[in-house]
Amino acid sequence: MDISTLFEKLVPLIPYLIPLVLLQYGLLVWALVALFKPKAPPRLLNRWVWFAIVLLVNMIGPILFLVIGRNQDEEE
């Protein structure tokens, strides 16, 4: 299969992938905001280690932080 045929197939899909991109970036922003709350230091790891994980590990990084790294006791 050549690249132009592949492009012809994939380009019409872009609008349908927008929700996925929004979900992904929404998660990223949410995780970063929660990570840098001054009164809620993250659990288990250092803030900057979490920052690297959230930023570098696509999708799974923010989820992991929100599930096990977010300090909810201090947030409340």
Partner 1 sequence: MRRFRILFRKEMTENLRRRRLLVLGIVFLSFAILSPMSAKYMPDLVQWIMSTTEGGGLQLTMPPPVPSDSYVQFLKNLTQMGVLLYMLLFMGAVTEEKRKGSVVLMLTKGVPRSTFLLAKFASSAATVLGAYVVSCVVFLFYQWLTFQETPGGDGLLVLASFGAYLVLMAGVTLLAGTVAQSTAMAAVGALGGYFLLSMLSLLPVVKDYTPSALVDQGLLLLVGKSMASELLWPLVATLGLSAALVALAVALFRKQEL
- Chain residues binding partner 1 by CB under 8 A are 1-3, 6, 9-10, 13, 16-17, 19-20, 23-24, 26-27, 59, 63, 66-68, 72
Tell me whether residue 24 or residue 46 sits nearer to partner 1 (CB atom).
24
Helix (H, G, I), strand (E, B) or coil at 58: coil
Closest separation between CB of residue 48 and partner 1, Å? 23
Closest separation between CB of residue 54 and partner 1, Å? 14
For residue 63, the tally of other CB atoms under 10 A from its CB is 13
Q: State how far the Cα of 54 lies from the Cα of 61, in Å rounded to an integer.
A: 4
Contact present, 7 and 29 (Cβ < 8 Å) = no
